[in-house]
Amino acid sequence: MNDNQTISGGWRRVKSPLEPGYYLLQGNEACAEGAIAAGCNYFAGYPITPATEVMERICARFAELPGRVFMQMEDELASLGSVIGAAWAGAKAMTATSGPGLSLMVENIGYAISTETPCVVVDVQRAGPTTGQPTRPTQSDVMQVRYGAHGDYETIVLCPWSVGEMYWETIRAFNLAERFRTLVFVLTDEAVGHLVEVVRIPEEIEVFERRRGKGEPPFLGQDIPPMPLFGDGEKLMVTGSAHDEWGYREVTNYEVQARSIKHLADKILSHLDEIVQVEVSHCQEEELEVLVVAYGITARSALAAVQLGREMGMQVGLCRLKTLWPFPENMLKPKLEKAQRVIVPELNLGKMVREMQRLKPEAESLTKIDGHIFTPEEILLAIKGGRG
């Protein structure tokens, strides 16, 4: 890019770093390849099951590519701190972890959001709490990625269900992080992370480059403010304290605090059409007997269950949440209204179902917490209810 393109940012097409074609990849490997394709040139992390393969693949591939930096840090807290610093030096930066590591990152997650630092955090969920079952899947981090950091803010959380989506949703995570100057989560689980499927790698990738601007306020001043880098000569001040549009600390200014919180929320909530994605299957009727709402690995079993229900003559459909946060309320409402029953299967004690119950109080929770994924038959039994 020339200097004008660097200052203005925006969308551009780039050649795939991996030779185009079909590859047999593990989910975690596909995540790493998606990050590389999106332009990730800095990774800092600490090995943790079941996310370690993301780090290992990145390490091996960075060694083959120019201008990429890999750092193994002493722990997860340092990993995200390093990622934030690299982002302000101009890198597209990322880390990957699982639940215990995510807990260590929470303070820096809030710092990244408050300082409007674009970066990507991959959470390959494992059964907890604490050490739990390192090699077993769960979906119990869905609230931690939304509400883990203290204070008020909005966050973006993407939830792939396949190896192919691990590739493409990681690319989308980087693009959203750069577009909206925020931390973005790729929230997956051990089952998807260790799943092996064929992925088609294209010749070109569409990527978003942050707008660096010149002589403009780097915070709060507009919908998505420009992000100059250290070394651009813009007299940058980056602080986690309440700050004005130039980064100056304003810890007793009520107006600045209110404007800052509103800005962090509005820059996400006013662009839901660019962020939120829901996939609908078998919902063609005006009224459904049962609507299943699922996400991640559970949605794969749910789709199979819905197809079995259809073969039995039931009017049953599926809504799959590709974006968990911001919660796709407006997209779900029309589907929930046409369903007599709504079932939300999850590998936890019932977390996202609470969001569904705000829209449809009678939504039913179907839970599993033994470290195994749902079978289609288990979800089909809930769909059938009293029909035998």
pLDDT per residue rounded down to tens, the chain (388 residues)? 444 445 678 999 999 999 999 999 999 999 999 999 999 999 999 999 999 999 999 999 999 999 999 999 999 999 999 999 999 999 999 999 999 999 999 999 999 999 999 999 999 999 999 999 999 999 999 999 999 999 999 999 999 999 999 999 999 999 999 999 999 999 999 999 999 999 999 999 999 999 998 899 999 978 999 999 998 988 899 999 999 999 999 999 999 999 999 999 999 999 999 999 999 999 988 899 999 999 999 999 999 999 999 999 999 999 999 999 999 999 999 999 999 999 999 999 999 999 999 999 999 999 999 999 999 999 999 999 855 4
N-to-C CA span, the chain: 63
Q: How far apart are CA 100 and CA 286, in angstroms?
A: 44
Instruction: Specify the residue for token string 């820059």.
Output: 267
Q: What residues contact 291, with CB distance under 8 A and at least 6 apart?
A: 283, 316, 317, 318, 319, 335, 336, 338, 339, 341, 342, 343
Q: Strand 156-158 to strand 323-325: parallel, antiparallel, or no bridges (unpaired)?
A: antiparallel
Report residue 147 as tokens: 């509400």
Where does residue 143 rank: exposed (0-12), middle (13-18), buried (19+ CB within 10 A)?
middle
Measured in residues, the chain has a length of 388
Q: What domains can be seen in the chain, in order of their start residue? A: 3-209 (3.40.50.970), 281-387 (3.40.50.920)
Q: How far apart are CA 257 and CA 237, in angstroms?
A: 17
Q: Strand 204-209 to strand 323-325: parallel, antiparallel, or no bridges (unpaired)?
A: unpaired
* pTM for this prediction: 0.96
Q: How far apart are CA 187 and CA 282, in angstroms?
A: 25
Instruction: Specify the residue for token string 């070109």.
Output: 204
Q: How far apart are CA 335 and CA 34, in angstroms?
A: 32
Please report the beta strands in the chain, taking only residues with DSSP state E, as ranges in sequence order. Answer: 10-15, 21-26, 42-45, 69-72, 93-97, 119-125, 156-158, 183-189, 196-201, 204-209, 278-281, 288-294, 316-321, 323-325, 339-346, 364-367
Positive or negative: CA dihedral 115, 117, 119, 120: positive
Report residue 72 as tokens: 């193994």
Q: How far apart are CA 124 and CA 163, in angstroms?
A: 13
Q: How far apart are CA 173 and CA 86, in angstroms?
A: 17
Where does 239-345 have alpha helices with state H? 254-269, 272-275, 296-311, 329-337
Q: How far apart are CA 247 and CA 371, in angstroms?
A: 46
**Residue type for position 235:** K
Beta bridge partners of 22: 200
